[in-house]
Amino acid sequence: MFLSYIYFMYKKILFASCVALAFWSCGEESQNTQPPQNTQPVEAPVRLAPAFNADSAYTFIEKQLSFGFRVTGTKSHKTCADWLVKKFKSYGAEVMVQSATVSTYDRKTQLPIQNIIASYNPQASKRIIFSAHWDSRPWADEDSVRKTEPIPAANDAGSGVAVLLEMARLFQQKNPTVGVDLILWDAEDWGKSDQTAESYCLGSQYWGLHPHKANYQAYYGVNLDMVGGIGAQFLQDEGSLQYAGATMQKLWGIGNELGYGNYFSYEKCPGLVDDHLFMNTLGKVPSIDVIDRRKGEDGYGFFEHWHTHQDNIQSISKETLKAVGQSVAEMAYREK
Ligand SMILES: [Zn+2]
């Protein structure tokens, strides 16, 4: 709120300056040709990212949904992986697929996972990560019906994947200064709420223990999860603040500066288990989570259709995709 207020005041001052300048200009021709000594032009904040196209991001969600449920280990999942790799390559990325087999929480299932890593400026030593999980949840356990069936997962996390693909499209138009790795985590949503934290995020856990490149290091990581919901609220979770507070403030500052303060709220909320946790603890990359948290009567939950069959294309807002996408793109281009 405080930064929004400053931005508002800045706009007000800018407006007042323009009015004054216009007034001065009108009367100028017949008067003095020298501007007053104390008139300083008000500089607009520099914008480095090209325009993030929310229509394009939206179609990337539709395309993912067209493959069916992207449940790890299924044919739809594999078909979608092939498309994702092809798409990143078409946008000029160096793409690596990290394949492995991992155990699920009950040790009964061996899952073939694929983390997809699309790199820009692969030789650059300073690197940053933007990530999202690309698998869809096998169960609608938060729904009241068909609880054992999979969900469309348009927002969780088709939206995050879509934002990363649109970023890749921008990177092809204009190369970022630093190395950027766009990472799609597999098998995030295989977890069970009555099991341990480690039942979730199998892909990022594997990567944390087995980095895709020897001695891999990144300056910071930004994980996107449920970043396309209508009326999304991105709060500051204590885990992200603890591990990468400066990175969180940087992104929230850019979001507010670009006019998306309604989404990037400075309200704090408890930490949570998501891929950023294992990027921090196992991967040793200071990482934050951009995730839609909603305050309910009994604490903080997620977006309203979380882990239900209603997590479909109707739950997606292009305005939210734009707010997140433009902000993270700007963050990537500002890094030197
Ligand atoms: Zn989920």
Which residues fall inside 5 Å of ion ligand 1, going by CB? 156, 189
Burial degree of 29 (CB within 10 A; 0-12, 13-18, 19+) = exposed
Please give the distance, rounded to the nearest whole angstrom, from the Cα atom of residue 173 to the centre of ligand 1. 32
Ligand 1 centre to CA of 131 (Å) is 14
Distances (CA, A) of 58 to 110, 163, 177: 33, 9, 27
Amino acid at 297: E
Q: What is the DSSP letter of 68?
A: -
Domains and CATH numbers, the chain: 1-44 (no CATH), 52-334 (3.40.630.10)
Which DSSP state fits 137? -
| 202 sits in which H/E element | helix 202-209
Length of the chain: 336
Burial of 285 (0-12, 13-18, 19+ CB in 10 A): buried
How far away, in angstroms, is 187 Cα from ligand 1 center?
Answer: 10
pTM: 0.87
Give the containing element (helix H, strand E) for 71: none
Amino acid at 59: T
Amino acid type, 197: A
Closest CA to 81 of 112, 115, 58, 56: 115
What is the dihedral sign for C-alpha 254, 257, 261, 265? positive
CA of 27 to the centre of ligand 1 (A): 62
Distance from Cα 115 to the centre of ligand 1, integer Å = 17
Render 195-240 in DSSP notation, one character per residue.
Answer: S-GGGS-HHHHHHHHS-SSTT---SEEEEEES--BTT--EEEEHHH
Q: Which residues contact 257 (CB under 8 A, 6 or more apart)?
A: 3, 7, 45
Q: Strand, coil or helix: what is 175?
A: coil
Q: Return the amino acid letter for 334.
A: R
Q: Identify the burial level of 172 via C-beta atoms within 10 angstroms of its C-beta, where 0-12 means exposed, 13-18 middle and 19 or more buried.
A: middle
Could you identify the residue written with the tokens 């323009």? Answer: 18
Q: 10-residue block means of pLDDT along the chain (336 residues)? A: 35 36 36 54 80 98 98 97 98 98 86 97 98 97 97 97 98 98 97 87 97 96 98 97 98 98 97 97 98 92 96 98 98 97
- DSSP character for 157? I
**How far does the centroid of ligand 1 lie from the alpha carbon of residue 36, in Å?**
59
CA angle in degrees (0–180, nearest 5) for 112-116-120: 165
CA of 306 to the centre of ligand 1 (A): 7
Degrees, nearest 5: CA angle 313-132-4 = 80
Distance 69 CA to ligand 1 centre (A): 13
- Looking at residue 37, what is its pLDDT? 58
Question: How far apart are the CA of 137 and the centre of ligand 1, in A?
Answer: 6
Chain-centroid distance of CA 118 in Å reads 15
Compute the distance between CA of residue 51 and CA of residue 328 in angstroms, rounded to an integer: 12
CA of 20 to the centre of ligand 1 (A): 52
- In the sheet with 94-103, reading across from the earlier edge strand, the strands are 94-103, 110-120, 179-185, 127-133, 220-225, 287-291
User: 330 phi and psi, to 5 degrees?
Assistant: -60, -40
| Integer Cα distance of 160 and 280 in angstroms | 19
Contact 288, 272 (CB under 8 A): no
User: What is the Å distance from ligand 1's center to 155 Cα?
Assistant: 9
